[in-house]
Amino acid sequence: MLNAGSYYRKNGSCLFRVWAPFSKQMTLHLVFPDEREIEMIPKPEGYFIAEVEKLPASTLYFYNPDGEADYPDPASQFQPKGVHGPSKVVDHHTFAWTDHEWKGIPLQELVLYELHVGTFTPEGTFEAIIPRLETLKSLGVNALELLPVAQFPENRNWGYDAVYPYAVQDSYGGPEGLKKLVDAAHQANVAIFLDVVYNHLGPEGNYLGKFGPYFTDHYRTPWGDAINFDGDYSDPVRAYIADNILYWAHYFHVDGLRLDAIHEIYDRGAVSIWELIHKKLKANPPLTGNRFYLIAESDLNSPRVVQPPESGGHGLDAQWLDDFHHALYVLLDKKGRSRYADFGTTRHLQKAYEAGFVHSGEYVGFRRRRYGRSSAGVPGERFIVFNQNHDQVGNRVNGERLSVLVDFDHLKLAMGALLTAPYIPMLFMGEEYGEDVPFYYFVSHSDQDLINAVSEGRKSLLAAFSNEKEFPDPVDLETFRRSKIDWEKRRVGRHKVLWEWTERLLHLRRTHP
Amino acid sequence: MLNAGSYYRKNGSCLFRVWAPFSKQMTLHLVFPDEREIEMIPKPEGYFIAEVEKLPASTLYFYNPDGEADYPDPASQFQPKGVHGPSKVVDHHTFAWTDHEWKGIPLQELVLYELHVGTFTPEGTFEAIIPRLETLKSLGVNALELLPVAQFPENRNWGYDAVYPYAVQDSYGGPEGLKKLVDAAHQANVAIFLDVVYNHLGPEGNYLGKFGPYFTDHYRTPWGDAINFDGDYSDPVRAYIADNILYWAHYFHVDGLRLDAIHEIYDRGAVSIWELIHKKLKANPPLTGNRFYLIAESDLNSPRVVQPPESGGHGLDAQWLDDFHHALYVLLDKKGRSRYADFGTTRHLQKAYEAGFVHSGEYVGFRRRRYGRSSAGVPGERFIVFNQNHDQVGNRVNGERLSVLVDFDHLKLAMGALLTAPYIPMLFMGEEYGEDVPFYYFVSHSDQDLINAVSEGRKSLLAAFSNEKEFPDPVDLETFRRSKIDWEKRRVGRHKVLWEWTERLLHLRRTHP
């Protein structure tokens, strides 16, 4: 089913497949438990394959193109020693799934809960989430949306610097940990969504350029060269991304994806990457028989994102509605207006409730151009709304959540406004009880130049929004530690009041849809 | 109606309007017949205006942003002293149009004739074309398509280095000359199409960057930065291009445009530049009441180009069908196969006749990827077909036309294949009588560095297709002179036979549509 990566069979054999169209030769270098070099066989379209019998399931390996050096597998499913280390073969047949009865959640009934695995629990792992599932379910949440879990450098990152789209972060518990979480979630009638990044890959540990033209300089994203969805040699790159969707659906029983910043995905070809993805999903539907949900983050205010392909749309199931947040937030917190200068009247909020996009073709000062298009008539379940998410909180200098920006009455009001909206609501971990610890931007890298660049880059980004001179250092371990939520707070004082308020509102939502 | 440029009124007053969002101040510098400096008035969106009473219609002027230097008007309608000289005010009320009865040609009846003004006649002017109109009409041609006539450097250029989209090339006869040609053509029941370039502007005489962000480095075209259709400050740039279409329709009575390489026009906004153009044309329909035709050159093999906006298409009237040429040509000239390696069987030609795009999603070696999408079911009048055009001829090292590549029988066969196709045919000037002079690539620049760069660039482009060591120098006047056709040949020998053959085929086409 997948075009690249390792495929470990029940009989103990393993097929390795890697794409390297400019390489004359490719060596599979097994490094553990046995060391062995295997010459791979060239195949059409620039792929190389090797079929290895009787391979231990715990095998670690590298690829070596043209005898140049050892590199991890671009389609690695596990990097147990981090982004620079060997890739590990994963046997997907051994996990004892128990979610055969899982029926999924209808789109319009979703209540999403965005969480960052590393800071949601003291342990920062998938497994540590499991004991909280029943509690979240009782609150009324029925879907967790995990910030990206693909392998990133070291062990602290929001996830957007991931460099192995198929590898599950080792420090979170790797592939096994994610499967345990998904299985337990399904037992608790909770769906799992992953945030995935198909617009770029991170800078550290990114060896894709050693293998092939995964990137193109034809388009410029905020993070450098775009992924090559439409240029020379783009077919295997398109398959690499489209297959990734099948991978999460089939190997991990994931229920849907949140597609990061799709406005930075460039594809002018006659058949768009979205059409390819729909085709692949149709040919390989999830085993549950459920629809596999694709939810976009889009900065275009274009209804095309959720319109069907027949009318020229991308055919995605839903998209984030940032305008709802902006329109509501500036009414709750006057200090926030400078950040969202094109919002500020109740009419904006009314439009967000009634029509979706607030900016639907008018001139927008922040954009310095006419922006957007009307989404009037687009069904409510096509939009995800939130009062805060990792971006809005984390991109404030001091990582302030809404709970520390507005008073308690406003906080309750905000929750009411969110949960009675005719859209799919999403909470940001801790929001349900008014968590007040910050959610900072944090990273860890092993490359000192990169560490310096990140610190400087962050300063200049934040300086655009603030006059403050002191910023928490993204690479400081404390910045990460201080971002961990304290889930026990939910039992006490105003936190408890807000929790119960949220619970009642979600109950109301279920009983009066 | 137009957002920028000079607007000369019947009462002798003139409105000047220029967009320069970063300039604090703008001076209108009148340089002839009177010298005068006029401080312009800042207006919203970064425009500056000046209203001047009793202005001589022959006035030459510059703009001077922030006292920096004199530059021509980016929306200049005439550059009588070339791309670096002053702009000239044009009085569009004085021309005595006589085409009130002109009804236009229905799309499906068009027979296009592509010509380069500079090499079609010994004079190389618009007016010199007029005496040939009746003869072309009697042949069966009913629409001339002029290679770009917007002002380019000096006096020799295919037209794709134009830098003033609104200015009519001085050496061709300027705005007055073009109007004379259009008016005479309409008297002869011949439509006029212009080739326009909205994907880039040429390098020499391009002062747009002195005024505003007309370009963006967000996308990379083969000619450098793309035109800014979707970034910050893009509204006035979008208007600058969209208004250009209205300008040709209203001020010059032009019947339609051929849009150069629209695959290099980038716009990810929620409302595409095509939608803006349709909206403007609907609000300002041509005076004739005819549909203003928009024909695209597109390298995407995507039926979306001609599909209606409701189904996500660009809504253009037709597009060039290069695949028809490639499929037919390689069957006629076996030596040509290396150039079009993905064509070569009669099945390809059959598909071109039956379905349009030959490459409709399969892997194409030249593209190194799957390419295109089926256009089966798209009506025939949505495609323009040709056996040669300026590109195919001019991009051969020695500028060979089909007449010198294949023997006479094949040439007749090719004409038959073209003119019986279920598409709109286009002849390349001289093709109708088997002209055998070359059509070379030629330019003239005043900038010596640019001259050298063009010569070198051309060599490397051609080297990719040929082993020949000697190339005609694009900047040599002889290269241009030798590209002029000899229209008198049509009366003699085999040229006459082919002319009559073409005439009979076009007659057959009219009588048996």
- Give residue-wise pLDDT tens across range B338-389: 889 999 999 999 999 999 999 999 999 999 999 999 999 999 999 999 999 9
Report the alpha-carbon distance of residue A167 to residue A276 in Å, rounded.
22
Report the alpha-carbon distance of residue A70 to residue A73 in Å, rounded.
10
pLDDT at A456: 82
Q: Within a 10 A sphere around the Cβ of A337, how many other Cβ atoms?
A: 15
Tokens 């990206």, located at residue: A148
Q: Is the peptide bond before A33 cis (omega within 30 degrees of 0)?
A: yes
**Average of pLDDT values for B11-28?**
98
Active site (annotated) includes residue A260: yes
Catalytic residues of B: 260, 297
Report the alpha-carbon distance of residue B89 to residue B208 in Å, rounded.
19
> Burial level of B115, CB count in 10 A (0-12/13-18/19+)?
buried
Please name the amino acid found at residue B15.
Answer: L
Q: Which residues of A touch B230 (CB under 8 A)?
A: 369
Q: For residue A48, report the phi and psi dihedrals to the nearest 5 degrees.
A: -125, 140
Nearest to A301 among B232, B270, B303 (CB): B270
Task: Report the residue count for chain A.
Answer: 513
A137-149 burial, b if ≥16 CB within 10 A, otherwise e? eebbbbbbbbbbb
Residue A81 CB partners (closer than 8 Å, separation 6+): A60, A170
Ranges A173-182, A321-330, B5-14, B454-463: which has the least confidence: B454-463
Closest CA to A312 of A300, A304, A320: A304
Residue A175 CB partners (closer than 8 Å, separation 6+): A77, A78, A90, A92, A167, A168, A251, A252
Do B369 and A233 lie within an 8 Å CB cutoff?
A: yes
Do A232 and B303 lie within an 8 Å CB cutoff?
A: no
pLDDT at B463: 73
Look at residue B462 and tell me whether its pLDDT is greater than 80: no
Report the alpha-carbon distance of residue B4 to residue B74 in Å, rounded.
8
pLDDT at A356: 98
Q: A273, A237 in Cβ contact below 8 A?
A: no
Report the alpha-carbon distance of residue A274 to residue A253 in Å, rounded.
21
**Average of pLDDT values for B437-452?**
91
Look at residue B1 and tell me whether its pLDDT is greater than 80: no
Please name the amino acid found at residue B155.
Answer: N
Tens digit of pLDDT at every position of chain A (513 positions): 799 999 999 999 999 999 999 999 999 999 999 999 999 999 999 999 999 999 998 899 999 999 999 999 999 999 999 999 999 999 999 999 999 999 999 999 999 999 999 999 999 999 999 999 999 999 999 999 999 999 999 999 999 999 999 999 999 999 999 999 999 999 999 999 999 999 999 999 999 999 999 999 999 999 988 999 999 999 999 999 999 999 999 999 999 999 999 999 999 999 999 999 999 999 999 977 889 999 999 999 999 999 999 899 999 999 999 999 999 999 999 988 888 999 999 999 999 999 999 999 999 999 999 999 999 999 999 999 999 999 999 999 899 999 999 999 999 999 999 999 999 999 999 999 999 999 999 999 888 888 888 888 877 777 766 666 678 899 999 999 999 999 999 999 999 999 999 999 999 999 988
Using alpha carbons, list the distances in angstroms from residue A417 to A231, A312, A496.
45, 33, 19
Q: Which residues of A touch B235 (CB under 8 A)?
A: 363, 369-370
Look at residue B466 and tell me whether its pLDDT is greater than 90: no
Closest CA to A506 of A167, A135, A211: A135
Please name the amino acid found at residue B401.
Answer: R
For domain A5-88, give the CATH number. Answer: 2.60.40.10
Report the alpha-carbon distance of residue A211 to residue A224 in Å, rounded.
18
**Average of pLDDT values for B452-464?**
78
3-class DSSP state of B165: strand
* Choice among A145, A297, A333, A435 that is catalytic: A297
Residue B188 CB partners (closer than 8 Å, separation 6+): B133, B134, B137
**A124 phi-psi bin (left φ>0, alpha ψ -120 to 50, beta other):** left
Do A232 and B368 lie within an 8 Å CB cutoff?
A: yes
Residues B476-499 have pLDDT tens digits of 999 999 999 999 999 999 999 999
Closest CA to B175 of B124, B101, B98, B248: B248
The whole-chain average pLDDT of chain B stands at 95
**Average of pLDDT values for B192-209?**
96
- In this prediction, residue B447 has a pLDDT band, given cuts at 50, 70 and 90, of confident
Report the alpha-carbon distance of residue B237 to residue B23 in Å, rounded.
16
Q: B373, B303 in Cβ contact below 8 A?
A: yes
Do A371 and B270 lie within an 8 Å CB cutoff?
A: yes
- In this prediction, residue B468 has a pLDDT band, given cuts at 50, 70 and 90, of low
Q: B144, B185 in Cβ contact below 8 A?
A: yes
Do B368 and A233 lie within an 8 Å CB cutoff?
A: yes
Residues B31-57 have pLDDT tens digits of 999 999 999 999 999 999 999 999 998
Report the alpha-carbon distance of residue B105 to residue B388 in Å, rounded.
23
Q: Give B322→chain A minimum CA distance, Å.
A: 16
For A107-511, CATH number out of 3.40.50.720, 3.30.1060.10, 3.20.20.80, 3.90.660.20 equals 3.20.20.80
**Which of A274, A364, A368, A371 to probe by mutation at the B interface, max B CB count within 10 Å?**
A368
- In this prediction, residue B336 has a pLDDT band, given cuts at 50, 70 and 90, of confident
Residue A57 CB partners (closer than 8 Å, separation 6+): A8, A12, A89, A90, A91, A94
* Choice among A183, A204, A243, A260 that is catalytic: A260
Q: Map out the domains of chain B as residue ranges.
A: 5-88, 107-511
Residue B6 CB partners (closer than 8 Å, separation 6+): B14, B15, B16, B17, B61, B73, B75, B77, B87, B89, B90
Q: Is the peptide bond before B42 cis (omega within 30 degrees of 0)?
A: no
pLDDT at B467: 65
Angle between helices B493-511 and B408-419 (to 10 degrees): 20
pLDDT at A457: 80
Strands A224-227 and A215-221 turn out to be antiparallel
Angle between helices A408-419 and A322-332 (to 10 degrees): 150
Q: Give B271→chain A minimum CA distance, Å.
A: 7
Do B369 and A235 lie within an 8 Å CB cutoff?
A: yes
